[in-house]
Structure 1
Amino acid sequence: MATCAISIVLASVTWINLRDIAVERVLDRVLLASSQFSRQAREILDRPGLPDPSSLQHELEAFTATRSPHHDSSFNQMGRFVYVRIYDTGARRIASLADSTYEPIAAVELRMEASALRVPQPDENLHRVFRLDGMPLISVVAPLTGGKDEVVAYLEGVFAISEAAVAAARRDTLKTVAGVIAIVMVTALVLYPVIINLLGRLARTSRSLLDSHMETLNVLGSAIAKRDSDTDAHNYRVTIMAVNLAEAFGLTAREMRSLIKGAFLHDVGKIGIPDDILHKPGRLDTAEFSVMKTHVTKGLEIIGRSQWLNDAVEVVGGHHEKIDGSGYPDGRSGTDTPVSARIFAIADVFDALTSKRPYKEPFSYEETLSILEKGRGTHFDAELLDLFETIAPDCYAHLANREDSTLKTHLGDIAQKYFMDDMDTILSREDAV
């Protein structure tokens, strides 16, 4: 795509430049003819007073006759003057000539009669290009000078470029444009394997680094789970559920990566909570609960030390916030809490209710949904809860209270989709090359 885009741009620039060059080439011949007429009519132009109209008319007809195919075939191959007007310095017309053999001459006369003479500035090539019946014509104004190089009149002519000259210019332009495109394509074909090889090396390095990051994520998540409940299945389940809800909601790939990291490490701060509080079988008192709540800020401190984990802060820092502002640590309400944290909060509570814990048996599907409904508009985002209820039956059937190895496989597929597919595509292209 980049090669095609570059080819189109360069081909367009080349086409415009060659077209301008062709116009300049014709313009040079036209100005040369004007200069030749000025020399041929020098005796008339040097006479005292205003140029003699009848003499100039006769001289113009004689000069034009010498530009016929019999007298100047090289000039005629490029085209010919089909309309000429001569003005004195006061812009009064003193001679004119129209080629009656030129088919659209009436249209040329009409166009030229409708335009007033514009006197060119010194060293200015005053010209314009227009088309009639699809063929290009050049209108040019050139000064006529006497023996002392003084401007005594102006010649305004319309030069019709011949069909042969147009065809030749088009052929030359197309050949040059084709050459430019071919050069770009060949260069791209030569560089493509080199670029793919370099991208492959970069992808392998990035894949290795990402594998290390994901392994660290897994180790951290497992360490948290071992401290909390002797199993890391909760991290897998709640991450998968959160991803399912986020996909239904339509989070972007970047937001999904942030959610996955945050969901898997949502309780990382519990590493810093004393065992007597973390493993207390009964309800925590006010002081103990205050200590327990610090796991959020401790978690933020831990992931804040890693640039790769920095985007997990939304879930780690906001998964205990509530929609009515009664959560912690900041008491944020409504949309002040990031959507990824609001998504995770629903998945986290759903998994906690449907899972077996040392202090409780799993709740049934109906009981779980009833509890979630009680938190609508206070704990949970109502819109997200409605969306979750559409996928809740599938989550309950395939994930509730599961602890087998398929959870790890399922999360691995999710990580592949959101973290590694682009690099695998580059590596597969490199292998194909």
Structure 2
Amino acid sequence: MRTNFERRTAVLISLVSVILVSITSPIAWYVATEEAESAIVSLANEETERLLAYYHVLDFSNEISREGAQQAADILAGGFFDIAELYGASGEKLAEAMTPSGAKVEDQLTKHAMPVYMESSYESMKLPDGDWVLRVFVPLHFVKSGSESLAGYFEGVRIVPDWQRRQITTTAFTAALMVALASLICGAVLYPIVVYLSKENRRRAKEVLDSHISMMEALGRSIAKRDSDTGVHNYRVAWVATKIAEAIEIPKDSMQPLIIGSFLHDVGKIAIPDSILLKPGRLTDDEMELMRTHVDQGESILKGIGWLDDASTVVACHHEKWNGTGYPRGLKAESIPLAARVFAVADVFDALCSKRPYKEPMSFEQSMSILIRDSGSHFDPDIVKVFEGIALGVYKRLDGIAENEAKALLQERVNYYFGL
């Protein structure tokens, strides 16, 4: 079964192939038509020069050439061209001949001044009656005394016959079709290559991400075990924070730093002595001051580690309070980052419901009464209100849960938000 990526890739490559076909096929048609016209003109030039040379009409200064000009024009008009005109070097018309078909289209051709051009050229015209006409302009030269001089001008009009039109159309169509097929084949060949490279890239990215998450878990567990002899708190609180964030519809791209920050929120406690960290009784003012340094310690640990940088917001601000009495910066209300406000509710709820060295777990009702009491002082009241709607389900899902079960809960969310 194709993945969403493979379906999108197939659609995009097909779209690009169609666009290429729509661009390149008309170009190929145009180029093939131009080349066919140029070939006709080149052939006309060669035949004209050969015939004029045969009748010694390349030097109009002598009377013999002037007499041969009309004869050459008659032959040209009866052969490759429908209208043949010969002009002298000063632009005066010396001879003209045309077929009945040429006479029929002559009035439809645009008139022009006396010829003065120095290079061969041609015009391709579609006349109102449907005829396709090629009009050729050729400067004529002759060599005298070792130097080349302008002898005059030849202008010929060819009405492209049906068979030649069909031939040109067939050639142009074949060229356009070949370009179209090449574009489509290119797309068909590129698709499996792109899919393979993407899968390989995703596999490698997943390996890197897996290693990052494993490192995150190892770091989080090492800190949690110093604090509570278990890593379950980090899994629980990160999962609860994710559920709250989903309930308030935090953007999906903000979930990764929230999960990482929640899991590593207490990473700074690695710098706190066990005598303070595991003290069962109330901390003294000096001990509390030292304990509070874990926030700055944690922020400094995560800062500069690229994939952990965004997570430092939760680590740095998870002890700030809605009324501005928190630490370390005394931030107030919405100046506290949203992720930190979400985490504060999840952290305190899990701490109240969990057994710690200094306390027994509280009941759901006791825990919620404290959250509601401190709503508007410690916690963002809007987040507490949203949490009230999901709190009982969260509590029941986590009550008595083992570490491996909590890990599985979080892993499912990690897989979703990290694209594993």
Q: TM-score, normalised by structure 2?
A: 0.69
Tell me what 1:16 maps to.
27
Tell me what 2:7 maps to.
none
1:108-123 equivalences in 2 (<5 Å): 113=110
Shift of 1:216: 3.0
2:97 & 2:121 partners in 1: Cα distance? 20
Tell me what 2:369 maps to.
367
Tell me what 1:76 maps to.
none
Tell me what 2:170 maps to.
167
Residues 256 and 366 of structure 1, relative CA distance in 2, 3 Å threshold: closer
1:19-168 equivalences in 2 (<5 Å): 19-37=30-48, 40=51, 46-48=59-61, 60=73, 62-67=75-80, 113=110, 126=121, 142-147=137-142, 148-150=148-150, 152-153=152-153, 155=155, 157=157, 160=160, 162-168=165-171
1:85 & 1:338 partners in 2: Cα distance? 87
One-letter amino acid matched to 1:272: A
Gap runs ≥5 in structure 2: 1-9, 143-147
One-letter amino acid matched to 2:78: A
Contact map agreement 2:237 2:262 (CA 8 A) in 1: yes
One-letter amino acid matched to 2:259: I
Residues 366 and 345 of structure 1, relative CA distance in 2, 3 Å threshold: closer
One-letter amino acid matched to 2:251: L
Contact map agreement 1:54 1:95 (CA 8 A) in 2: no
Q: Give the secondary-structure state (helix, strand or coil) at the position aligned to 1:150.
A: strand
State the identity %. 29
Residues 208 and 45 of structure 1, relative CA distance in 2, 3 Å threshold: closer
One-letter amino acid matched to 1:341: A
Residues 14 and 223 of structure 1, relative CA distance in 2, 3 Å threshold: same
Tell me what 2:412 maps to.
413
Contact map agreement 1:119 1:141 (CA 8 A) in 2: no
Shift of 1:45: 7.1
Q: TM-score, normalised by structure 1?
A: 0.67
Shift of 1:28: 2.8
Tell me what 1:315 maps to.
314
Q: Which has the larger radius of gyration?
A: 2
2:352 & 2:114 partners in 1: Cα distance? 89
Contact map agreement 1:269 1:296 (CA 8 A) in 2: yes
Give the counterpart of 1:178 among 171, 181, 186.
181
1:35 & 1:347 partners in 2: Cα distance? 91
1:393 & 1:118 partners in 2: Cα distance? 99
Shift of 1:276: 3.6
1:395-410 equivalences in 2 (<5 Å): 395-399=394-398, 402-403=401-402, 405-410=404-409
Q: Give the secondary-structure state (helix, strand or coil) at the position aligned to 1:145.
A: strand
One-letter amino acid matched to 1:164: Q
